[in-house]
Each structure stands twice: as C-alpha cells, then as structure tokens.
Amino acid sequence: MAAIRAAVLVLLGLCLGGAAAAIPLVIWHGMGDSCCNPQSMGYIKKIVENKIPGIYVLSLKIGNNLIQDMENSFFMNVNDQVREVCSQLAKDPHLKGGYNAMGFSQGGQFLRAVAQRCPSPPMLNLISVGGQHQGSVYGFPRCPGESSHICDWIRKTLDLGAYTQAVQEHLVQAEYWHDPLKEEDYRKNSIFLADINQERGINETYKKNLMALKKFVMVKFLNDTMVDPPISEWFGFYKSGQAKETIPLKETSLYLEDRLGLQEMDKAGKLVFLGVKGDHLHFSEEWFYSTILPFLQ
C-alpha cells in the first residue's frame, strides 16, 4: 500500500505541476536604444512572450526613465552599469533559479561581463547578437542618429584620446575601443574590455564563471557596416600591429592560452557561431524564430 500511495502522490504532483516553467529571459539593449522601444527591445520581448507562454522577460533599464536609459548607453561607465544590473538580477525573485540572457550589440559583451562577474543568480545560456567581444575600432562608422551631434562628438573624442582616463571613465564606446596599432595602450588603459578579456592577467573566477554557461551563442552579421572588424562578433580581431588582416578566434592568444576558457568550452560543444545575412542587427522574425528561439526553450 505504501508503494501505491507514493506512486499516486507522484502522479498527482505531475498533474498539478503541469509542464515545467519557462526559463526567464534577460535582455540588454545596444547603443542609443532603450529597454522598451516598441520597434526594438519591446518588439523582441513581445514576440518571445507570444512564442513561449508564461515566460518572464526582463528588458534591462539603466536609469530612472527611458531617456536616462538611452543616454547611459553612451555616457555611463560600463563597470557601473554591470554592477547595477547584477544588483537588479540578484533582487529579482523570478530569476533565482537561473535565466537565459540575450544581448544586442554592446549589450552582448556587457552581459558577458555579468556572466563572468556575477554568477548568482546563474546565467544558463548567453546569446550575443552582434556583440563586439574583441572590441571595435576605427571611424565609429555608424551610430544611431547619423546626423546627431552626439555621434559626431563621440567620433572626435575617440579619435583624440580613447585611452585617456577621463574618456575611459565617461564614454561607453571608449571602454571597448580596441586599437590594434596601440595594443599596449589598450591593455594598460582599457577599464572594461581589457579586464573582461583577461588582457592584464588571469582572473580564475571570470574563467570559471563563463565556463559554467551551457551555451555561449555568438551571432555575426555577415554584411555588418557598424562593427569594425565584424569578426569581433565571433571573438576574432585584427592581427596585432596592423588593421587589414583579421584572424579568427582559434588563432588569437585569448584562445590559444585559454585565458577565458573558450578553448575548453569549444571542445565541449558550448560555443555556437551563427551567421546571418544583413547589416548590424538586421534580421527577420522568421530567422529569430527558427534560429534563436530554440536556445530559449
């Protein structure tokens, strides 16, 4: 009788519990965007919720309103942004069992910093959509609002002194500015990217935390005119000392020395490299459903 009673209780639990709850999703927008723009992050949030009933989607807002959120994507120290996000995630009861993360453009490498620095609550899968993981450089070819004074000012500032302390502390794009002709300046003075890419030494905690991911998905836009070089979206970059020839991730010192654990993750099948035709962040709803959605379920 005891065995029968136990079996009945298990069946009742399955019936009452229903299907497993959807894994929550955290989204971080890119430069010049905001958490809830109905044509970008608001749209992504909506289509995910439509396809995965009951899912909790948190689109990150940095600041007290949408204007501050947008401005902070240009002018708030990235390390401070990451700390703020880590605090938001730790306080959110929906995320305590773990979550998937999806970052767009610079939001991709920012969420990687969250994975490396803040393992609780645990990030399960990281999807980087056009994230510049080895940085971006040269000309700042395009930014939201091509004719805006903000974009013109940022270009001039980066060209004049991307690695000065004042610029590093107050201009987001300088913090992942990676000049292959000034590698020493980059390694010494980059306050964000050089740190999370282990350019000044090995932080074993960063490595351990990143390797805890189930999957690290990197989306590269095959006709990208914004990220220079586009191969940065797959962790490749220019060969040091020049700005014409690029090398893939597997030929970089980051991979060969396995400073982040990417080599080990690659061998374990945890790295996923996806290419999509189109310019930066240009993709179809059909592509998103068929290619990205499976990693969220």
- Residue-wise pLDDT tens digits, 214-246: 999 999 999 998 888 999 999 999 988 888 899
Decide if 179 is catalytic. Answer: no
Q: Could you tell me if residue 164 is inside a domain?
A: no
Burial of 294 (0-12, 13-18, 19+ CB in 10 A): exposed
Ranges 1-5, 27-31, 224-228: which has the least confidence: 1-5
Report pLDDT for 14.
38
Q: Could you tell me if residue 192 is inside a domain?
A: no
Q: Could you tell me if residue 152 is inside a domain?
A: no
Decide if 59 is catalytic. Answer: no
Active-site residue, from 33, 224, 228, 258: 224
Report pLDDT for 147.
46
Structural domain including 27 reads: 23-144+201-293
Burial of 130 (0-12, 13-18, 19+ CB in 10 A): buried
Checking phi first, is residue 258 left (phi over 0); if not, alpha (psi -120 to 50) or beta?
left
Q: How confident is the model at residue 158 (pLDDT cuts 50, 70, 90)?
A: confident
**37 pLDDT higher than 90:** yes
Average pLDDT over residues 51-69: 96
Decide if 228 is catalytic. Answer: no
Instruction: Give the residue, 146 or 282, on which the prediction is more confident.
Output: 282
User: How far, in Å, CA of 89 to CA of 92, rounded?
Assistant: 5
Report phi then psi at 235, rounded to 5.
Answer: 70, 15
Report pLDDT for 5.
47
**1 pLDDT higher than 50:** no
Active-site residue, from 34, 105, 128, 232: 105
% of residues, the chain, pLDDT over 90: 77
Q: Could you tell me if residue 90 is inside a domain?
A: yes
Q: Tens of pLDDT along 169-201? A: 999 999 999 988 889 999 999 999 999 999 999
Residue 200: count other Cβ atoms within 10 Å of its Cβ.
Answer: 11
**75 pLDDT higher than 60:** yes
User: How far, in Å, CA of 44 to CA of 285, rounded?
Assistant: 9
Average pLDDT over residues 41-68: 96
% of residues, the chain, pLDDT over 70: 88
Average pLDDT over residues 46-64: 96
Report pLDDT for 269.
98
When divided into structural domains, the chain yields a total of 1
Q: Could you tell me if residue 14 is inside a domain?
A: no
Q: Could you tell me if residue 177 is inside a domain?
A: no
Ranges 34-43, 157-166, 258-267, 268-277: which has the least confidence: 157-166
Q: Could you tell me if residue 162 is inside a domain?
A: no
**Nearest-5° Cα angle at 89, 91 to 165:** 115
Helix (H, G, I), strand (E, B) or coil at 247: strand
Report pLDDT for 101.
98
Ranges 48-62, 79-93, 154-168: which has the least confidence: 154-168
CATH number at residue 269: 3.40.50.1820
Report pLDDT for 138.
57
Q: Could you tell me if residue 160 is inside a domain?
A: no
